[in-house]
Amino acid sequence: MDTKTKKKLEAGGWKTGDARDFLELSDAEAEFIEMKLALAQDLRARRLERHLNQTQLARIVGSSQSRVAKMEAADPTVSIDLLVRSLLKLGAARKDLAKALSEGPHRAVS
């Protein structure tokens, strides 16, 4: 299993100790993780666009630097709700989020 895939799985809270775990990752679960990754990427992109560091963004969205870091890493402990609420506070509109979602995380190699 390549590093990228492993990272993605772990972002969803999955351990990649053996093949069984991998095979039990249903389509729904995989899609869910990809959605989180897409939103996470979008959040980071918007933050960098504004030349903000994570601490500054934390103030804007009413959270802490560590949460922001976890959001951008699509950590298993952050919800889509938090990602969406943060993005909205950064000025994103519903359709912006829809776009980010449908485009999904950009894959370098497929």
Partner DNA sequence: GGAATATATGCCTCTTGTGACATATACTAC
Partner DNA sequence: GTAGTATATGTCACAAGAGGCATATATTCC
In the complex, the residues that contact DNA under the rule CB under 7 A are 53-55, 58, 61-67, 69-70, 72-73, 75-79, 81-82
Binding segment toward a copy of itself, per CB under 8 A, in 11-19, 43-51, 65-73, 81-89: 81-89
Query: Using CA atoms, how far apart are residues 27 and 22, in angstroms rounded to an integer?
Result: 11
Binding segment toward a copy of itself, per CB under 8 A, in 2-10, 28-36, 48-56, 68-76: 28-36
Q: Interface with a copy of itself includes 32 (CB under 8 A)?
A: yes
Residue 104 near which of a copy of itself, DNA, none (CB within 5-8 Å, type-dependent)? a copy of itself
Query: Using CA atoms, how far apart are residues 23 and 3, in angstroms rounded to an integer?
Result: 17
Residues that bind a copy of itself (CB under 8 A): 27-29, 31-32, 34-35, 38, 79-81, 84-85, 88-89, 93-95, 97-99, 101-102, 104
